[in-house]
Structure 1
Amino acid sequence: MSFKEELIEQFGNEVDKSDVIAYLENLIKIYALNIEELFIKWEQFSYHRHETHTAMNTKNLDGFKNFLQKQIEKKAQKFSNTSNVTSSGLKSKIIGSSPSLFGFNSPRTPIIKKRKLNETQPTSSGQKSSQKLGFSSGSNANNKSENIEKSNTTSPSMTGSTQINLPSDITVSTPSPLKRSGEAGVTLDSLNPNNIETSEGFDPENDKKVKITPFYDPIKYKFRTMRQNLQDAADVLDEQIEIFCKLAKEHFKLSQSDFGDPTIQSQSEIYAVGRIVPDSPTAEGFLNIDSLALEASRLMGIGRRVRLNFSKINECSLFCGQIIVLKGKNADGDYFMVDEILNLPYPDSPVSTVEDIENSNMIQNGKSMKVIITSGPYFPENDFNVQPIKEFVDKINNKIKPHTLIMFGPFIDITQNCIAKGAIPQFHGVTQQPRTLDEIFTKVLVPLLSGINSSIQVILVPSTRDAISHHAAYPQDSFDRKKLQLPKNFKCFTNPSTFQLNEVFFGCSNVDIYKDLKEVAKGGNTAMRNRFDRVSEHVLQQRRYYPVFPGGIRKTAKILENKKKVIEHISGADLEVPYLGLTEFVGEISPDVIIMPSEMQHFARVVQNVVMINPGRFVRPNGGRGTFAEMTIEPPNVENGKLTKMSDEDLFLHNVWKRSRIDIITN
């Protein structure tokens, strides 16, 4: 669409004049506005003049230009006055603010009291304080090379393209052989172990390859990070609330008149839809049931917040970022009394036709499909020992023989101690030592991974901690297979991604939702339920792989040379808010299998007929044996009764939870 057509679409045919178009184009350039923003300003100008319609002529355009200029000058003057406010004046202004401005009075969010660490020698109380804040002092990091001294070398960049410059006085050597305690191949946990036998594996000579079908648009993930527009981010957050408002209307058979603004005082009972947020924008630490507020959409409540009162609710489980539907009233204007929390419906399950099921059965030759799932890091914290990967590749080819191998990053972890210190060891068997983080992957890992049988299909999903990824934000673009010199049997998918293995839908997200989702629970029965089940239900009900907002952030405390302590951001969800739509379930349908790696305990569970898997870490931080998940899926069969037929339709539910076995095994 041309510039002229966009103007006509927004303003109408009245702007179809050469002088008017030239004038508007000039205003767009002067005030750095887009066409939509210019139209909003024009409506404000008309409202300011008390006119329902303002003619588009040169005289009015001159007045419009003066209006825009006055807005900018007023904003600049306001900023100047704000910067000159004294601390005491600012404090009194906040305390005396009207409750109608924010929808609530003084916050009840607990504020953590920060204790100063002893800069020379941390005390035990200081260490406890840093742990409570989620910081790590780094005092437990072991330096295996005694002659490595501290240098002023800057850590490698997140992109991994920066050359690693080691100081001349540093001596790096190949790490000693890894002593891996425990026995390999031990099954730590199983799902459906008594009903389903483990698959024999893939036979390259007789079996056909599994059909892999991605369900996402890779072009949408090519956006540039750190280019967030405040308006775009606000639109996405607002749209999420409106989507759930529409869902509530359809599911609970409600009309538009049943919904109201929860921030306005009223004696009438209404339904309200909004996002759970802290009652204080500067909240720190864990929230409680009395420190939550509801943020309304711009349409339903002008984006304002109101404190929530859950005294009438016996049981609930809430978290920041959750979209929720409430029934209640705001009788005194101070808080919204919640009478009922409406349980939103879970998304539909995927279905297949008889023809699709028969095709999948034919591909598998009536045999079970085997899928192996691993999650990084793939190296210990203090060295780059490749022994675990070598052993694993040998098992994959000669013993396990899966149809598909799904590997989650990080592959080269940017937070690993060797990378953080710039102490990269020499690698034996490499013709030329790697000089960049990308080359560690291409010259050390790729030769090992290329040893996987070419008939076995391998899927790589990145992590925001991957040094080889040039897109360290969530949602995250896929790796470049050709640039990383990976074989053709490797497929690089985005984070998150939805794809199909034969008829089975897989959903993958490589952000630690099980650790980042901080629940505010009320009621004994809710707290007694398994946390992994509760978090999984939240993910399904919210229809997003990562419904937490704001996202989790991992920080650390660092002492500089002048003994000044600074807080550094290491990693985390790093949400790219304008593109959070890419983290939603495809077609509002829940996958058959959802894989979300976490630092917490490995597991395989069935939640709302969806198989939820956390394969665990591939290698322990100290180099000990990690875990991986081995999944066996029986072939689909219409006649054995394990597939549910939809009523009045020739469609069948996949029921993967009935015909799959998952084992968590030590590698």
Structure 2
Amino acid sequence: MEEEIKAEFSNSGFSLDEEEVILRKCLTFCINYSLSPSDLVSSWEVYYLNRQLNESTVHDAEMDGFLLHLQNAVKESIINEEPDLHVYSSKDVDMMFNDGDRYAKEETIGTPTNKLYSHSSELFDSEYQQNGSTFSAGKPSDIVTPFGHRKEKFAVRFSINQPPTEENAKELEPDSEDDFLKKVESRGRCSMILHGVKLDPNCRYMCDRIEDRFNALEGRIKSYSRALILSGVHGELMDPSVASQKSMVSVGMICCDGEGHLNDNSILLQSSDEHSGGQRVRLDLQRLSQFSVFPGQVVGIEGNNPSGHCLIASKIIDSNPLSASADINLPSAKRQALDKEGQIDPSFSDKELSMIIAAGPFTTTDNLFFEPLTELLSYASRKIPQLLILLGPFVDSEHPEIRRGATERSFNEIFHMEILRKLRDYVEYLGDTVRVVLVPSIRDANHDFVFPQPGFDIRSSDLNDQITNLTNPGIFEANQVKVGCCTVDILKHLCGEEMSRNPSDGIPSDRMSRLAYHLLTQQSFYPLPTS
């Protein structure tokens, strides 16, 4: 039979690296799963295409992955034949032996009760234990599924079905030191200044007046115009809708003529109310060898309008000197006022800052145990950064368990029990030298899914000075380092709306760098127009 397997591989154009070892394993696969040599090679071709392997040589290192592929194929075929049949695995057996009569105690899913909540709370209260210098965490949830009970500790994998190399072995080492955090050790508590105004608790979403929306767009154009004039590079700004044979410079916002994406015939430039009464004029970019524009972008255009109906651009001024922040050199009186309000402490003179930044979701797709968050807090407890920034989603509305309503707890209960309690234990364990910043996401099931988004409404008491709730987007300053946070994937949205032309020399540009550059020049977390 080994000869038949070898012949089938050869007929399909595959050669065997370690022939004797591979044939012995393939023979075992055929016997265990009742496969003929031709069926085995056909399954290998499917595995080969799915893995996008380049070589036509079968390596022994791929046999473990191929075995998993065969197991999944057999399991799917059995489930398709008998939909109500559950295929038990070793995890199910371990769970039954370890948990005893857990299944006998399970209740049908219903409305959460106080009894369930108190029972889960007791489990959570005993979750964190301080053993000397050890910071350990258990699993708070009482709901165990076959795929949720793990035999091995959760870990991040950097390679799949590949033998370990020196590089990824170093990355997988649990006690490996982070170079930056090793150099910048914690030197006490960092300062914290929140920038921007919080939303009024009584405000109503999606009730903006048209006048306010117009003023906001008008303000962006005027701000860009003032910065362009103060730069001194260009002369006086002109109305782009006025016919003129002379070259002129105008500032306006890129718009699209109708629905759909931008194209050469649908680009409009809307100038400010001060220069043109808010009128729009068609924009011709045929003379430009390269450009990158998108709806909502505020730019300067150098060109002429011979007919009064079309502005022919010879240059796009998409970069502007960044205006200095108003709070960098505050007067002494203003500085004293901020100190009095408790927003800044004059004792903070250290300009170094160590921080860890992580983005959600903080759980795997097969359960709601929040193991990645536990590992992150364990890592942070060893490194002890001054600042831990966590970006949502925390209770992900797109999680399979959340989407099908398989949890017995409310979204707020999950957030407070699985997220907040872990964070409170973390800051209590490390003391008042650490700070945590929480930024929500529009995918958070327990929060308002609007953008811009208010911060979490957490009114718990004693740790408010250590756990900060930031808006989305939001800006804060720590040890004179200003940080902006936003959980909306604006780069993905810009990819779908941008219209660009590459240089004539044919050298492709880095698109992601170009999109990130737009955010800096537009000085906006979301420069696209919102409906």
Structure 1 length normalisation: TM-score?
0.48
2:506 counterpart of 1:522: no
Specify the SS of the correspondent of 1:339. strand
Of the three residues 236, 243, 255, the one matched with 1:277 is 255
User: Do 2:350 and 2:479's aligned partners in 1 also have CA atoms closer than 8 Å?
Assistant: no
Change (3 A) 1:221 1:293: farther
Q: Which amino acid aligns with 1:270?
A: M
Q: How far has the Cα of 1:459 moved from its partner?
A: 0.6
1:622-637 counterparts in 2 under 5 A?
A: none
Change (3 A) 1:185 1:452: farther
In structure 2, what is the equivalent of residue 457 of structure 1? 435
Of the three residues 466, 487, 492, the one matched with 2:444 is 466
Change (3 A) 1:491 1:306: same
In structure 1, what is the equivalent of residue 231 of structure 2? 251
Q: Distance in 2 between matches of 1:185 and 1:474?
A: 41
2:470 counterpart of 1:493: yes
Q: Which amino acid aligns with 2:295?
A: C
Q: How far has the Cα of 1:480 moved from its partner?
A: 1.4
Q: Which amino acid aligns with 2:275?
A: M
Change (3 A) 1:493 1:185: farther
User: Do 2:502 and 2:509's aligned partners in 1 also have CA atoms closer than 8 Å?
Assistant: no
Q: How far has the Cα of 1:411 moved from its partner?
A: 0.8
Q: Distance in 2 between matches of 1:278 and 1:484?
A: 49
User: Do 1:221 and 1:476's aligned partners in 2 also have CA atoms closer than 8 Å?
Assistant: no
In structure 1, what is the equivalent of residue 455 of structure 2? 478
**CA displacement, residues 117-171 of structure 1 (integer Å, 9 cap, x when unaligned):** xxxxxxxxxxxxxxxxxxxxxxxxx99xx879xxxxxxxxxxxxxxx9679xxxx
Q: Distance in 1 between matches of 2:464 and 2:345?
A: 26
Specify the SS of the correspondent of 1:480. coil
In structure 2, what is the equivalent of residue 639 of structure 1? none
Q: How far has the Cα of 1:245 moved from its partner?
A: 2.0
Change (3 A) 1:187 1:517: farther
Q: Distance in 2 between matches of 1:484 and 1:382?
A: 34
1:80-91 counterparts in 2 under 5 A?
A: none
**CA displacement, residues 444-491 of structure 1 (integer Å, 9 cap, x when unaligned):** 322322221332210111112222223x32222111121699765211
Q: Which amino acid aligns with 1:438?
A: N
- Identity over the aligned pairs, expressed in percent? 24
Change (3 A) 1:418 1:276: same
1:231-270 counterparts in 2 under 5 A?
A: 231-252=211-232, 258-260=237-239, 262-270=240-248
User: Do 2:364 and 2:371's aligned partners in 1 also have CA atoms closer than 8 Å?
Assistant: no
Specify the SS of the correspondent of 1:327. strand
Q: How far has the Cα of 1:289 moved from its partner?
A: 4.4
Q: How far has the Cα of 1:218 moved from its partner?
A: 2.0
Of the three residues 304, 320, 324, the one matched with 2:295 is 320
Change (3 A) 1:210 1:186: farther
**CA displacement, residues 167-208 of structure 1 (integer Å, 9 cap, x when unaligned):** 9xxxx85452356562699659xxxx9996733643xxxx42
Q: Distance in 1 between matches of 2:392 and 2:385?
A: 19
1:4-23 counterparts in 2 under 5 A?
A: none
Q: Distance in 2 between matches of 1:181 and 1:490?
A: 27
2:382 counterpart of 1:403: no
Specify the SS of the correspondent of 2:356. strand
* Residue segments in structure 1 that go unaligned for 5+ positions in a row: 1-141, 149-163, 425-432, 551-574, 576-667
In structure 1, what is the equivalent of residue 367 of structure 2? 383
In structure 2, what is the equivalent of residue 443 of structure 1? 417
Change (3 A) 1:165 1:275: farther
In structure 1, what is the equivalent of residue 400 of structure 2? 417
Change (3 A) 1:337 1:484: farther
Of the three residues 173, 176, 199, the one matched with 2:183 is 199
Specify the SS of the correspondent of 1:453. helix
Structure 2 length normalisation: TM-score?
0.59
Change (3 A) 1:487 1:528: same
The structure whose Rg is larger is: 2
Change (3 A) 1:165 1:517: farther
Change (3 A) 1:182 1:240: same
Change (3 A) 1:328 1:487: closer
Change (3 A) 1:362 1:532: farther
In structure 2, what is the equivalent of residue 308 of structure 1? 283
Q: Distance in 1 between matches of 2:456 and 2:84?
A: 36
Q: Distance in 1 between matches of 2:398 and 2:365?
A: 9
- Which segment drifts farther, 527-536 or 455-464? 527-536
Q: How far has the Cα of 1:323 moved from its partner?
A: 0.2
Q: How many equivalent pairs are there?
A: 361
In structure 2, what is the equivalent of residue 531 of structure 1? 511
**CA displacement, residues 248-275 of structure 1 (integer Å, 9 cap, x when unaligned):** 222236565x411x23444343322111
User: Do 1:266 and 1:329's aligned partners in 2 also have CA atoms closer than 8 Å?
Assistant: yes
Change (3 A) 1:352 1:413: same
Of the three residues 386, 393, 396, the one matched with 2:377 is 393
Q: Distance in 2 between matches of 1:185 and 1:165?
A: 46
User: Do 1:509 and 1:545's aligned partners in 2 also have CA atoms closer than 8 Å?
Assistant: yes
User: Do 2:439 and 2:470's aligned partners in 1 also have CA atoms closer than 8 Å?
Assistant: yes
Q: Which amino acid aligns with 2:524?
A: R
Q: Distance in 2 between matches of 1:185 and 1:545?
A: 37
In structure 2, what is the equivalent of residue 563 of structure 1? none
Q: How far has the Cα of 1:371 moved from its partner?
A: 0.2
User: Do 1:315 and 1:526's aligned partners in 2 also have CA atoms closer than 8 Å?
Assistant: no
Change (3 A) 1:526 1:544: farther
Specify the SS of the correspondent of 1:418. helix
User: Do 1:476 and 1:496's aligned partners in 2 also have CA atoms closer than 8 Å?
Assistant: yes
Of the three residues 486, 492, 496, the one matched with 1:509 is 486
Specify the SS of the correspondent of 2:355. strand
Change (3 A) 1:390 1:296: same
Structure ranking higher in helix proportion = 2
Q: Distance in 2 between matches of 1:468 and 1:186?
A: 38
Q: Which amino acid aligns with 2:424?
A: S
Change (3 A) 1:492 1:182: same
* Residue segments in structure 2 that go unaligned for 5+ positions in a row: 1-75, 86-108, 113-142, 159-167, 336-343
User: Do 2:193 and 2:478's aligned partners in 1 also have CA atoms closer than 8 Å?
Assistant: yes
Q: How far has the Cα of 1:380 moved from its partner?
A: 3.0
1:141-290 counterparts in 2 under 5 A?
A: 173-174=144-145, 175-177=147-149, 180=155, 182=157, 198-199=182-183, 201-202=185-186, 207-219=187-199, 223-252=203-232, 258-260=237-239, 262-279=240-257, 281-283=258-260, 286-290=261-265
Change (3 A) 1:521 1:449: same
Q: Which amino acid aligns with 1:443?
A: M
Q: How far has the Cα of 1:373 moved from its partner?
A: 0.2
